[in-house]
Amino acid sequence: MRRLRRTPALRRLTAEMSVQPADLVLPMFVAEGLSEPRAISSMPGVVQHTLDSLVKAATEAVEAGVGGVMLFGIPTNKDAVGSGADDPDGILNSGLSRLKFELGDATVLMADLCLDEFTDHGHCGVLAVDGSVDNDATLQRYAEMALAQAEAGADLLGTSGMMDGQVGVVRRALDQVHRSEVGVLGYAPKYASAFYGPFREAVSSSLTGDRFSYQQDPARGVTEALAEMALDVAEGADIVMVKPALPYLDILSEIARVSPVPVAAYQVSGEYAMLEAAAERGWIDRVRAIDETLLSIKRAGASMILTYWAVEVANRSA
């Protein structure tokens, strides 16, 4: 077995996996009311952007050959129904419009379609009187968000809220206004994960509880994951995404085996933070570890990967 491992040239010839810049999607944050970018302490190297710095960083990502960007918005004012989410002048929609104006079709512009950044309670939906997250009232808000994001120029809407029926509601809302060209990136399966921890700082989240009543339990298995995927596909998802990535490679590999649509994986904030932290202490070879995680995610079957390292990795492979 060692014969083909002997030289770098033999290893290169026999390699079966590679990560291409175009496979990578950069998640980005834009915050309202900033005069300069603000560092996110739990995600060294990642910032909340101003509108101007967002355009500059997204342009650099496109120049590096990255396949797309996924935008999250952080408003200054939050309320119970997340009014900022579908306000055309709200920070997320303003950011999308700016990026579409500056970049046109040079990249794939994706928008996070969820209320958690915009609600004062931090949940992904609106609340019923008993404090639970109201599925169907939330769907109404998602439909409104979808129209605003389509209007702002998003190519793909990332339905990350884990409400039942969200993909169908978004698809129908778009079709009704003749925006059938706008696609849906379905977050299915998506687990209630501790690995979203640093993201909560990244989006200045107000959440106090948890999301176990709508996101999937890590103790469930592949059957539920396949059911989530099948529903999203039946409702019109153009791409499905497994999230987080590294702790769910078993799920990813099953989804990739059977999905009739392309499969993405989201290497989330905690996956980024733990590796950066270990590297900072000199406990791990940072570059090799990053590349190894991305190869693992590719090997498990993802055809695209959302990663905060997208630009660095794209530039390195160029």
Catalytic residue list = 190, 243
Identify the helix (H) or strand (E) that includes residue 267. none
β-bridge partners, 86: none
214 in contact with ligand PBG (CB under 6 A): no
Site for ligand PBG in 113-132 (CB under 6 A): 114, 116, 124
Q: How far is the CB of 238 from ligand PBG (least distance, A)?
A: 18
According to DSSP, the β-strands at 183-190 and 239-243 are parallel
Site for ligand PBG in 51-80 (CB under 6 A): none
Question: Which residue from 97, 119, 269, 307 is in contact with ligand PBG, where contact means CB under 6 A?
Answer: 269
Taking every pair of C-alpha atoms in the chain, what is the biggest distance, in angstroms? 67
Q: How far is the CB of 241 from ligand PBG (least distance, A)?
A: 10
Other beta carbons within 10 Å of 176 = 11
Q: How far is the CB of 112 from ligand PBG (least distance, A)?
A: 5
Question: Which residue from 112, 134, 235, 254 is in contact with ligand PBG, where contact means CB under 6 A?
Answer: 112
The CA dihedral of 120, 124, 128, 132, to the nearest 10 degrees, is: -110
Give the CB-nearest residue to ligand PBG.
Answer: 199
Question: Which residue from 118, 196, 214, 248 is in contact with ligand PBG, where contact means CB under 6 A?
Answer: 196
Nearer to ligand PBG, 112 or 276 (CB): 112
Q: In angstroms, what is the C-alpha Rg of the chain?
A: 19
β-bridge partners, 82: none
160 in contact with ligand PBG (CB under 6 A): yes
Q: How far is the CB of 80 from ligand PBG (least distance, A)?
A: 17
Question: Which residue from 29, 199, 214, 248 is in contact with ligand PBG, where contact means CB under 6 A?
Answer: 199
The footprint of ligand PBG on this chain (CB under 6 A) covers a number of residues equal to: 10
In this structure, which long-range contacts are made by residues 162-165, counting pairs with CB atoms below 8 Å and at least 24 apart in sequence? 162/124, 162/187, 162/190, 162/211, 162/214, 162/215, 162/216, 163/124, 163/125, 163/133, 163/135, 163/138, 163/139, 163/214, 164/135, 164/231, 165/135, 165/136, 165/139, 165/235
Q: Which residues bind ligand PBG (CB under 6 A)?
A: 112, 114, 116, 124, 160, 196, 199, 211, 268-269
